[in-house]
Structure 1
């Protein structure tokens, strides 16, 4: 072989190696995904905040560290109620929160956390996955450049903390109560003044008297918040949040640019947290309620049937207002109502009937 041929082949070989190096290095780098994730919850807040942080960690675990999320709690990067715009604009890739905080953007978002006389956690999952709920949520979120997934559920929530006994619906007139979403709209129909506050600001407003009452989640979270220090009457059941679903919302353009595998990893992490959080709340609420009653002097009260009837009548008025908003809002409500009738009908003769009989037999 002539010397110049050796040199030529050597240069070609070196060029090939260089080309391969040039191609492979960016490909490896591009395969790593770094996410900025903002949240509506305080850092390390049990259940809600820790669930969001757990989801972020699960992304790394399921991808062997290839997908990482830098988590920002409420106020660390943007305010709790600013996460929607932060992700829609592309400044962050995802947020963890509650969709009903953003009914000001569109009332349809309320249906993807909880609405008055709505769906329980298991009914919610059925609607999302088999009843067309996810498709409607995708359509709604897509109008704002977002893509959402279910990522947690607190189960049935309590009716709230009150400084006085709530003997009838008329007691809500003039009441300043922290209650976001469409539940707050029901309060307005009853003559109350709903106030929307992030979790981190509830205690200070209740203890100072800036609000007269509040709902939050349930005994476990409410005990941690020490809401009993400002109000002793604890009412149940909550008409406004029968199965509050939390969500992870992502910038849609960013989501669409991911591979199917990476989309599935994120979806799997969200689905795992959706189940895990519900289990956690179900386990911890009972013991927390007993501590509130035995150690903190909390007085447990049940809303009267007449009061609940008033909640129902006001809710129907709110639903009419929602449907007047837009064609999409009407389709969301009609789909939800269909699911409530069909899945709820089955639930009545399955879960509800069984639990009633079990508790009767066991004297619970």
Structure 2
């Protein structure tokens, strides 16, 4: 087991990496980090001495005074080095840098100078530092006006605001799950050589193209309940999963339009512009199904008969969201990625639920991780 600690664990990239590594429990042991560690020398020293690998992500991205950004980021690196030296620890350090290293701004300079300080430490302590030069990162749960333009656009479009494009340039992007996979590959690597790694971008898009897609998601999905045309491992799927993370929980459950006449009733369950797999289950009273989460799949639960409680909880958090559905008024709830979820028959009769997911089940790559809600 490799003991891994992530500075900045609660931030956008750090939290995604922590959760991603949580799916690799066969060879990774996560050492918990809290942001107060840098305020207490002994706590930080205990942290670094417990780790085989430290992924140093903690940093300040924005501030009204650029000098504060520089001082903060270089200061964090120096504190990390001091803690390693005082405890005679030589963990492998993977440093999160940026393509802005070559730009004339204090954020980029802080990343460049921080990297050089770590490289000097590695030479003097016989340690190992691998610096990732990372392009623009996007993904679910980003902070608008801070992490990425995509987070800002998603927030604005979902909120009914009108985003402004200041410069319709081309942006090189990597999805946060793809970046986490790159960190994981480096964590388990046994090359034992300090180096700089240029992390390749996986998509190149114009800003207007991104905004047009996000706007279309609002019309298709929020207003009309239609899942857009996305395929596995595509930019569109990653952007859609990012977009849906900004939709308020009160959006669900969504009631269907029920057409009734003297023959009975008709309800359209699913309309999608992409392929997928449909199935159904029957559940006896009092039984719960699920208690798992996905990292990429789009999934819909549609209750057509009986009464159900559907619950969500974002992993590594405590808040549980509950939705009550009744087949007398057929409705659906879609499952967000990184939210463990379940469905319980809370009625007195058999529960019938229809399920749709955007990719056929693959036992070798199920993207299904079990965790109690």
Q: Could you tell me the TM-score, scaled by structure 1's length?
A: 0.30
Higher RCO (C-alpha 8 Å, min separation 6): 1
User: Of Structure 1 and Structure 2, which has the larger fraction of its residues in strand?
Assistant: 2
